[in-house]
Structure 1
Amino acid sequence: MSALPLAITGVGLVTGVGLNAPATCAAIRCALDNFQETRFMDNGGEWIMGCEVPLEQPWRGKTKLIKMAAAAINECLGNNKQIVPKATPLLLCLSEHERIGRVIDDDNQFFLDLQEELGAEFHEKSRVIARGHVAVAVALKHARQLLYELKAKHVLIAAADSLLVAPTLSHYEENERLLTSQNSNGFIPGEAGAALVVEAVHAKQENQLLCHGLGFGVEKAHVYSEEPLRADGLTVAIKESLNDAGCGESIIEFKITDISGEQYYFKEASLAFSRIDRTKREAFDIWHPADCIGEVGAVMGVVMVAVLKAACEKGYSKGNHILAHLGNDDGKRSSMIFGWQAVGGN
């Protein structure tokens, strides 16, 4: 396995099915959702279904994003009193700048406002990663450098995003991406905040979820392209993550993805894995948390990692070696290899 693995030692979640990580992960394990009619209407005159986070006040826009991110970060800080914000870089994952309807107009100001909400100032190496779905993998790559080269003790990775924005929903509906009364091949929009605590791996005698490998690729035949899909970008990303982890595909026991309902991404995931899989398998589970929380943009990757951690800790995962992959609409792809290190186990 990788010489520079990362340990996921804490999680925080705020989603439409739970306002903390245990509640959210329990709901996802039970396949519960909170899909309800939103205040937005589709072109057929029907209410659009969505998964809204029920906070104590009806906040909207940037304010709600800050509240969700702060709550997730506070959950991590509350569970680990050794974290010193001033000495801890915060890597904040946000939606791509190009996304239609993006409510954040100044990333740096948003970061400052988040610090003010938290009443804490983070390390000078903190940064915003506006990369959408693949942001969590980019953040883990930066975290690896911060932990092993700059010797940071902890790194916080946080994310906040919402697709429950009128211009965003209109854009996706016009492009037949949204699940509506007139389109069955689409996703249900949602919103969420999430956070992870990442540490370097030392000789700890404790159970922990480790990220062993990271990989990246670019798909030319992305969802808006008219080129035939061969899943080249995702295949490259998966192969790179396996090489980074120093293992072969045979070690993978199940996978978790950001798939949220569109046939394109199901087809891509199937094609990519079939191109690297050389192992005879009786079963191979595919988990997609979006079934419960909706499409939550840049937060999805962080949620996926948190779900894996809970599943491994509570013993309901489908194995100890997991593939996780994500993709952006513009073709950017990322892949991560996770392993559960159990005391006395593998």
Structure 2
Amino acid sequence: MRLAMTGLGLMSAIGYGAAPACAALRAGVSRPAPVEWQGVDEDTPEAYRVTGHPLRLLAGLPLPSRLVRLGGWALEEAAGASGMKSSAPEAWGGTVLLPCLSPVRVEDEGVFDTWLAERLRDGLMARVLSGLPVRWHAPLWRGHAAALAGVKEAARLLESGEAERVVVLGVDSLVTPESLAWLSARRWLKTPDRPVGLMPGEAAAAVVLETERGAQRRQASVQGYVEAVEVGTPEGDGPPALGRRLAELLLAVWPADVEVGDVYGDLNGQEHRAAAWGYACVPVREARPGVSAAMHLPASSLGDTGAASGAVALCAAARAFVRGDARGPSTLVFSQGDAGHLAAARVTGP
């Protein structure tokens, strides 16, 4: 089902708003800074500092407050861009807010997820959606793959008539002390002594999705279209299995007669993600020979933005079409979740 993107919102360390943030991404702007945490090397007693991509506006705030602020800013911008913000409250009827999140990064994984979702729901409803008949969808806890999985769920809701529009909100922060300790324990962080690893970031991106007919009916400004989206998990463990399944998803959303000019991926400096992408490239190039699409890695500018990364990529892909910077008629977006969730989508211009 073809989905119209009628509103975009993005809050990040390199730009407050979808247009400036995506312009900064295209220009390769990056603003790394030390995060408010120190790690201790397991092999030596020496402490080390971690460099990431935090928002200075959020300094000192705990995870729930960071997510509410980030999500609120992105949601408010997307609502304004879609024309819904200026509408009467009853015009919001049939709107579903679909939060896309990462499980709370603590040792007792899953224990705090419900608590975090409730804090986020209450904060967003009070901050942005007070008095509006917006339905809260159960969060999708799929990390990097959550936003594209949210687009898949949005297509189901719109096709079945359960919603008139769906706001997919990807929001995450990897720069809190608890998250950094969790990442450090798994040796996933890039440090002075470990050059291969991720740089933590934080961001929120919101995408308002409607059916093509629904967008035309209310004369909404379309920023782009999601032509196809697929999600899945691999049969087996390790980069080869991940790569094979990712290739299947990419080819499923990419017909043989469609030209692709750009690819947005969530590679973040971790070896297993790069290896999985390498394994995926082999069957993709065999099935689509002669393709030379440009690769874009938002994490190079934003750090790892977790569950926000897929929505960030959708915003960047759509803005490239609006600005005339896209290199072809279609753009691919792919995501790899930490728990094996995979997703791929194809985006076209308005």
The TM tier, using the shorter chain, reads: 0.7 to 0.9
Is the contact between residue 220 and residue 331 of structure 1 (CA under 8 Å) also seen in structure 2? no
Q: Distance in 1 between matches of 2:92 and 2:122?
A: 14
Deviation at 1:48, TM superposition (A): 0.7
Q: Distance in 2 between matches of 1:93 and 1:313?
A: 25
Cα RMSD for the two superposed structures: 2.6
| Residues 236-264 of structure 1: per-residue CA shift (max 9 Å, x gap) | 34434543x47228633331101111222
What TM-score do you get using the length of structure 1 for normalisation?
A: 0.86
User: 1:344 corresponds to which residue?
Assistant: none
Which segments of 5 or more consecutive residues in structure 1 lack a partner in the other structure?
A: 342-346
Is the contact between residue 215 and residue 239 of structure 1 (CA under 8 Å) also seen in structure 2? no
* Alpha-carbon distance change, 150 to 73 in structure 1, aligned in 2, over 3 angstroms: same
User: 2:43 corresponds to which residue?
Assistant: none
Is the contact between residue 89 and residue 122 of structure 1 (CA under 8 Å) also seen in structure 2? no
User: 2:26 corresponds to which residue?
Assistant: 29
Q: Secondary structure at the match of 1:276?
A: helix
Query: 196, 201, 204: which one pairs with 1:185?
Result: 196
Q: After the TM superposition, which segments of 4 or more aligned residues of structure 1 sit over 4 Å from their partners? A: 97-104, 203-208
Which segments of 5 or more consecutive residues in structure 2 lack a partner in the other structure?
A: 41-45, 86-90
Query: 48, 51, 54: which one pairs with 1:49?
Result: 51
* Alpha-carbon distance change, 59 to 122 in structure 1, aligned in 2, over 3 angstroms: farther
The answer to whether 1:212 aligns with 2:227 is yes
The answer to whether 1:94 aligns with 2:101 is yes
Sequence identity percentage: 21
Q: Which has the higher helix share?
A: 2
Q: Secondary structure at the match of 1:127?
A: coil
| Residues 274-317 of structure 1: per-residue CA shift (max 9 Å, x gap) | 11223333633211101001111110111000000111111112
Deviation at 1:98, TM superposition (A): 6.5
User: 2:118 corresponds to which residue?
Assistant: 108
User: 1:252 corresponds to which residue?
Assistant: 260
Is the contact between residue 11 and residue 194 of structure 1 (CA under 8 Å) also seen in structure 2? yes
Is the contact between residue 285 and residue 291 of structure 2 (CA under 8 Å) also seen in structure 1? no
Query: 7, 10, 14: which one pairs with 2:11?
Result: 14
Q: Secondary structure at the match of 1:46?
A: strand
Q: Distance in 1 between matches of 2:60 and 2:323?
A: 34
What TM-score do you get using the length of structure 2 for normalisation?
A: 0.85
Aligned length: 331
Deviation at 1:270, TM superposition (A): 2.1
Q: Distance in 2 between matches of 1:238 and 1:122?
A: 40
Which amino acid in 1 is paired with 2:296?
Answer: W
Q: Secondary structure at the match of 2:139?
A: strand
Is the contact between residue 321 and residue 340 of structure 1 (CA under 8 Å) also seen in structure 2? yes
Is the contact between residue 148 and residue 343 of structure 2 (CA under 8 Å) also seen in structure 1? yes
Q: Distance in 1 between matches of 2:258 and 2:58?
A: 47
Is the contact between residue 132 and residue 298 of structure 1 (CA under 8 Å) also seen in structure 2? yes
* Alpha-carbon distance change, 250 to 274 in structure 1, aligned in 2, over 3 angstroms: farther
Q: Distance in 1 between matches of 2:141 and 2:271?
A: 26
Which amino acid in 1 is paired with 2:126?
Answer: E
How do 1:165-180 residues align onto structure 2 when only pairs under 5 Å count?
165-180=176-191
User: 2:170 corresponds to which residue?
Assistant: 159
Which amino acid in 2 is paired with 1:280?
Answer: P
